[in-house]
Amino acid sequence: MRTFEIPTHYRSHLIGRLKAWRKAQDPKKKDLSPTLLDLGAVRFVFARHFGFCYGVENAIEISYKALEENPGKRIFLLSQMIHNPAVNGDLTARGMRFIQDTHGQMLMDWNELTGDDIVIIPAFGTTLETEGKLKAIGIDPLKYNTTCPFVEKVWNRSAQLGQKEYSVVIHGKAKHEETRATFSHTAAGAPAVIIKDMTEAEELGRIITGDLPVERFQALFGTRCTPGFDPDRDLQRIGVVNQTTMLATETQAIADHLKQVMVKKHGEADLKHHFADTRDTLCYATNDNQDATNELLKADADLAMVVGGYNSSNTSHLVELLEHKFPTYFIKDETEVLSAETIQHFNYPAHKLETTNNWLPPKRPLTIILTSGASCPDTLLDKVMLKVLGFVEGALDPVEAVDAAIA
């Protein structure tokens, strides 16, 4: 796999070295066991896979390349390039401006743009409608297009399904940039509907089998389907794709459920005519991070810390996995570790910041799981670890400990 030119301020001099060492030891990624960094009074447990994925590094490389190649030009980010405030903040500090927020709401008027401006498409991709607006202004939306190749793979698979006259069920969050983009590209060639979870998949299944009236479809999915979607006609042949940052296990479970629904309605012998196998659209990086996080659940730890942007879907799913076993704190960076007594963290289900007291147990040695989402620079994990170490007396020097670990 190719390597990318990433600014050095995103590279970690501590935890990144551990990650590189594990990668060299296990290039085929067969060993998902966590990495232990023993600092005596405190021990940190790191997931086998965490941090920047292929698509994120690709997006960062292209964005900084746009800055280098266009001195003096106005450069715009269509929306957040990735869901990490540190990265987006660094780009805007260098003069970039956002055109839209993460929900597609305009932050400026399209009329402010000219054909001489540069617009960077985010890693999530964008809709065909937005591409058309940029082209009408005279801006090439593909010149600095950072759309993740694995997102484009989903679009291509959706197009193939449409060509074979399947309807496409998209497992995703309807307001998320990636799902909006996938829906737009899919709708160009196939009927499509967005479902958010297994509960909705089960409802859709009951509509398909006739256990729920067809009118129920409009009530549940009327705002999340292509115009003119006819359940009687368009749910005869289906395939499932996903927003690549969703829980891969959930997407697979949804596909397996709808497959059985089609078996129930049409019989095993005629299954291939009614259900397309689409498991090849699952993102490898999302799978790796989630599989590695599941391995963390086997650890004997006192708490878990997950670092990433609050609006990062893949990061929220890591939190979701870990909080089943450990007290888990979702933070954007080290500034939220206020003291040994107090931490500020994000409650993802409630979408609000919370403050927890007495979060750091007094026991020694203390074992802390520390990981991050796919859009989080490894340097932020260094800073979080060092901040925590400042509250623990008697901890070993982390530089010496990393040197010893990889010797």
What sign does the dihedral 350-354-358-359 (CA atoms) show? Answer: positive
State the catalytic residue, choosing from 131, 177, 178, 320: 178
Show the tokens assigned to 399: 């530089």
Pairwise CA distance, residues 209 & 265, whole Å: 6
d(CA 233, CA 277): 20
The verdict on whether 354 is a catalytic residue reads no
- Residue 95 corresponds to which tokens in the numbers above? 């003069």
Q: How far apart are CA 178 and CA 181, in angstroms?
A: 5
Cβ 318 vs Cβ 290: under 8 Å = yes
Q: How does strand 366-372 pair with strand 42-46?
A: parallel
CB 51 within 8 A of CB 295: no
CA 240, CA 89: separation in Å to the nearest integer? 35
| Of 241, 314, 304, 308, residue with least CA distance to 278 | 241
In whole angstroms, give the CA distance from residue 42 to residue 340: 13
Active site residues: 178
